[in-house]
Amino acid sequence: MRLMTADIAHLLAAARADGRRRVLGIVGGPGAGKSTLAASLAGPEVAVVGMDGWHLANSVLDRLGRRDRKGAPDTFDAAGYVAFLARARSREATVWAPEFRREIEEPIAGALEVPPSTLVLVTEGNYLLLAEPPWDGIRALLDEAWFLEPDEDVRRARLVARHERHGRSHAEAVARADGSDAANARRISATASRADRVITF
């Protein structure tokens, strides 16, 4: 998969023409390469904000009994993410967003800046195309949506490696990839038809 700023030139051109910020959503299952692709599109006029910044804190997930399902739709502040996207469509003022830090498995508030000079906001995450509330409010806020569909063995191998990089044993990484991550991936795959573009690799 080789995509770069040239692939969003049409969005930049449209934003320059009418002054209205465009929002691109990148969707795919865990380990599909969403954050890598989003980061490759970043530039002086392109900001990147991931959905993972709206993860509920681990302490909240513990209290709700959802920690073992972290990454499922009900382990995010989905309404907060929808509100951010609605606000971020305006270029009137800087909008600050949280960033998920994998080294601590927690979001950090106000870590990402979307200044008025941003013409295209790239946002990536698993559930941008879900058709259930409050997630169903997202699609209308995206000017374009791309769905990443890598080879399944490649996606799983990436996911296991990522879990291991962040401190899990191989057995723990495999259990997570084949457990809650696999269940989430099946749910996400069913939303691909709502994307403007499906990218297979």
pLDDT tens for 20-70 read 999 999 999 888 889 999 999 999 999 999 999 999 999 999 999 999 888
Q: Residue 49 CB: number of other CB atoms within 10 A?
A: 28
DSSP-assigned beta bridge partners for residue 145 = 25
pLDDT tens for 120-170 read 999 999 999 999 999 999 999 999 999 998 877 788 778 778 778 877 788
Instruction: Please report, as a single letter, which amino acid is at residue 175.
Output: A
DSSP string, 77-137: -HHHHHHHHHHHT--SS-EEEEEEETTTTEEEEEEEEE-TT--EEEEEES-TT--STTGGG
Please name the fold of domain 5-200: Rossmann fold (3.40.50)
Q: Per-domain residue ranges for the chain?
A: 5-200
